[in-house]
Amino acid sequence: MLESTVAYLLEVSSTPLAVSDPFYQSRDIAQVHAINILRILVQDSSLVTAISRYYAALTMKALNGFTSPVWAMRNASLQLFGNFCLHLFL
């Protein structure tokens, strides 16, 4: 179940953002929610072993999010990367 969940969340978070929408900065964005859920999965200490095989994909997702034109996406990506680093280096 974790495998399909992570795959789905990575797929949703990879969907292009609708930056042509003039209100995109103030709307709830599914891609941001997906990254936040991935962050919670990384943060959960009971899933450390199971989620560790996704570290490469999650790292790339976080790093790619740093260049997003949407502040919420950059913020979520930074939080994902921060949680990922905590588990890697502590």
- Whole-angstrom distance, CA of residue 58 vs CA of residue 46: 18
pLDDT band of 50, cuts 50, 70, 90:
very high
For the chain, what percent of residues have pLDDT higher than 90?
Answer: 64
Q: How many C-beta atoms surround the C-beta of residue 31 within 10 A?
A: 22
Name the DSSP class of 43. Answer: H
What is the model's pTM? 0.88
SS3 67: coil
89 pLDDT more than 80: no
Locate the domains of the chain by residue range. Answer: 2-9+30-89
Q: List the alpha helices (DSSP H) in 1-90.
A: 2-13, 30-43, 48-51, 55-65, 71-89
